[in-house]
Structure 1
Amino acid sequence: MADNFRIFVDHAVGHGRIEVVGEDAAPVAAAVWFPRTVPLPEPHDYDRRLVAACGEWTERFRVLDTLFEKHHPAEPHHHLAFLAVHPSRQNEGLGSTLLRHHHAELGPDVPAYLEASSARSRALYARHGYQSRDPFHLPDGTPFWPMWRPAGSPV
């Protein structure tokens, strides 16, 4: 799965933002954002890289991509693709630090969007002004909750 994340991290270098907490060589938390205020190209050589990264699980990741795109809002916004904190550093507020930093830079006119994958992550995002929408489900029943943070929400 790390190789799949690498595709989007590489894409964010040219078309998004990567924000980290910790040393560059050893970050302990990271957020990957894409500005969906302009058209966003697909990652370079995506199909080939997806197969190389996911192997026998490729079709499952394609289904995930399709579902995420189907439920993605059309309105201009910033999309939080990934927020990760090293397990040894969780519950220290590092994810909140990354969220507050990016929200402060959005300004009053840009909303934000993400897909939450658990009740715990939904609670974190709700504390930062995200409003949960109806969940969608993977074929195996795994839920994801689209969450929207309106423009002008307090930081």
Structure 2
Amino acid sequence: MTPIRPARVAEVPAVGRLIAASFDHLPQNRSLVPDEGERLTVMGDFFAFLSESAPQGGKIDVIEDANGGLVATAVWFDRTRQLPEIPAYEERMTALAGRWLPNFQALDELFEKHHPEEPHWHLAFLAVHPDHQAAGLGSALMQHTHDRLDVPAYLEATNEDNIRLYERHGYTRMSPFDIRLPDDTPFFRMWRP
């Protein structure tokens, strides 16, 4: 594997596809886009869309394999300051989500309602391609940023395996910990002081 490096702007669509492939098994992705035939495309576009604003208000780190393919990524947002507005957010979300737009609107409402106000860095996405999981890449990506942070960090975990990983890296369960989409699909709020 190559060292951790910042993603290039041209790689953002590939970052979105990597996150979608890494998260495809999760009930959260299935809740947002129930149709298996559409899920990877819609979720890839969604993750790329959100990630494209990270370089202006955070960062995207990547790890690639020996052939130059992206195998792991971490997308962070600097919430110690006002994030820049995402241009044409509503229009672009409507176009990429299509008939699943109400599910994404519910996700936005849930996350906005429960996002901490204290200044922090937000780990929006930590993704490792399924063929490269359990090799320490996610831990390496987190540690790469944790070593440089002098403020707290926040994330929304998706399952017990992720919760254990984040706890090993100093994250603790917040209150409320378990927040849910309208169909009862959970996310779990975690904070690293």
Fold shared by both chains (TM-score > 0.5): yes
In structure 2, stretches of 5+ residues that fail to align are: 1-42
Match of 2:154 among 89, 113, 129: 113
> How far 1:29 sits from its partner (Å)?
0.2
C-alpha separation between the residues in 2 aligned to 1:149 and 1:121?
Answer: 14
1:69 matched to 2:92? The reply is no
1:6 matched to 2:48? The reply is yes
The 8 Å contact of residues 56 and 84 in structure 2, kept in 1 or not, is answered as no
1:86-105 equivalences in 2 (<5 Å): 86-105=129-148
The 8 Å contact of residues 77 and 123 in structure 2, kept in 1 or not, is answered as yes
Alpha carbon RMSD of aligned pairs, Å? 1.3
Structure 2 vs 1, CA of residues 25 and 58 (structure 1 numbering), >3 Å: closer, same or farther?
farther
1:124 matched to 2:124? The reply is no
C-alpha separation between the residues in 1 aligned to 2:95 and 2:69?
Answer: 25
- The list of structure 1 runs, each at least 4 consecutive aligned residues, that deviate by more than 6 angstroms after superposition, is none
Q: Which amino acid aligns with 2:106?
A: V
The aligned residue for residue 58 of structure 2 is: 16
Q: Which amino acid aligns with 2:100?
A: W
The aligned residue for residue 20 of structure 2 is: none
Structure 2 vs 1, CA of residues 119 and 67 (structure 1 numbering), >3 Å: closer, same or farther?
same
The aligned residue for residue 56 of structure 1 is: 99
> How far 1:26 sits from its partner (Å)?
1.8
Q: Which amino acid aligns with 1:56?
A: R
The aligned residue for residue 9 of structure 2 is: none
Q: Which amino acid aligns with 2:183?
A: D
Structure 2 vs 1, CA of residues 25 and 11 (structure 1 numbering), >3 Å: closer, same or farther?
farther
TM-score of the superposition, structure 2-length normalised?
Answer: 0.74
Q: Which amino acid aligns with 1:72?
A: H
The 8 Å contact of residues 7 and 43 in structure 1, kept in 2 or not, is answered as no
The aligned residue for residue 153 of structure 1 is: none
> How far 1:25 sits from its partner (Å)?
5.0
The 8 Å contact of residues 20 and 29 in structure 1, kept in 2 or not, is answered as yes
C-alpha separation between the residues in 2 aligned to 1:25 and 1:137?
Answer: 37
> How far 1:14 sits from its partner (Å)?
2.0
More helix by share: 2
C-alpha separation between the residues in 1 aligned to 2:170 and 2:157?
Answer: 13
